[in-house]
Amino acid sequence: MAAATESPLVAAIRTLGFTNGVLYLLGRVLQKMSRGHCRLIRYYLVAQPVPAVWVPVCKPSDKDRVTVARGSDAVTAFFPRPPYVIAGRFARQHTCLVATSKDDFSGFLWYANDFYEEDEVHCRFVIDQPTEGVWDYDVHVEPRFRLGRTFARLWDAANMSLSEQGIKWSFSRISAFNSQSLQSHKRMGLQVLAGLTFVCLGPLQLMVSSCSPFINMSWNGLGRPVIRVRTKH
């Protein structure tokens, strides 16, 4: 009964912690008052260890496969992203692992070896040691396959490929407001490197972070922050 009557602030703090709970509600208020023109976004910059020798979680399957996609592959027509976005990723030589089930598209996972241009805010993440790390992003599983093993098969393939290349870390950013994702990643050895908070008002963007450059202000992408990504040791 108490949980049903608790205030939104108490519920947010209970789920996300004090700082993230307050910022989450502040962001909702700002977005509502500005009619969508003002956004508050908070990330954790994280590193996921890649085992030197990867033992697959899923058994091999003739029906469910994960392969490296090329821009000319027919399956890219089923990718749930605009064609120009997909073409741009292949042009930048990002790697796409695509999952299929009985030849039907079931999901994909992308990673970059040098840098990644964030598309939710104006920010560039640069891998400090490209021979030891990659930036993984846009892990997608089609709705009708989300109760299956597609997600696990994608990460099996990614970890197998990355470990063979001598990659030690896979970097990414996770919303500080997504507690379930954070907890699931922590169980896999996730290391939180920094916190980044963005306030966007139209073309104006303010970033405050716990890593260099710490404070940044940009206008419509001009002067956007560049975050060099490295582990703590």
Per-residue pLDDT of 164-189, as tens digits, reads 999 999 999 999 998 877 877 777 78
Q: Provide the mean pLDDT of the chain.
A: 92
Per-residue pLDDT, 4:
58
Q: With bands split at pLDDT 50, 70 and 90, how would you rate the model's confidence at 2?
A: very low
The answer as to whether 232 is a domain residue is no
> Does residue 89 form part of some domain?
yes
Are 62 and 153 part of one and the same domain? Answer: yes
The pTM (predicted TM-score) of the whole model is: 0.88
Instruction: Indicate the residue among 167, 191, 209 that finishes a domain.
Output: 167
Confidence of residue 222 (pLDDT cuts 50, 70, 90): very high
Element (H or E) spanning 183, and its range? Answer: helix 179-186
| Domain extent for 210 | 1-48+169-225
Any domain includes 100: yes
Stated as kind and residue range, the H or E segment containing 88 is helix 83-91
Residues 78 and 138 in one domain: yes
First to last CA, the chain: 47
Exposure b/e, 190-222, CB count within 10 A at least 16 = b: bbbbbbbbbbbeeeebebebeeeeeebebeeee
Could you list the beta-strand ranges (E) of the chain: 38-49, 64-68, 95-101, 104-112, 115-118, 123-127, 133-141, 169-175, 191-201, 204-209, 215-219, 226-229
Q: Which pLDDT tens digit goes with each residue over 109-134?
A: 999 999 999 989 999 999 999 999 99
Contacts of 155 (CB under 8 A, 6+ apart): 57, 109
Q: Do 90 and 158 lie in a common domain?
A: yes
Residue-level pLDDT at 157: 95
Closest CA to 125 of 106, 112, 110: 112
For residue 199, tell me if it sits in a domain. yes
- Same domain (yes/no): 119, 184: no
Same domain, 142 and 182: no
pLDDT digits (tens, 9 = 90+) for 32-65: 999 999 999 999 999 999 988 888 889 888 899 9
Q: CA 189 to CA 123: how far, in whole Å?
A: 26
Predicted pLDDT at 10: 85
- Rounded CA-CA distance 163/43 in Å is 26
Domain count for the chain, please give it.
2
Which of residues 104 and 188 earns the better pLDDT score?
104
Task: Please say whether the beta carbons of 173 and 78 come within 8 A.
Answer: no
pLDDT at 76: 96
Cα 127 vs. chain centroid, distance in angstroms? Answer: 15
* pLDDT tens, position by position, 8-26: 878 888 888 889 999 999 9
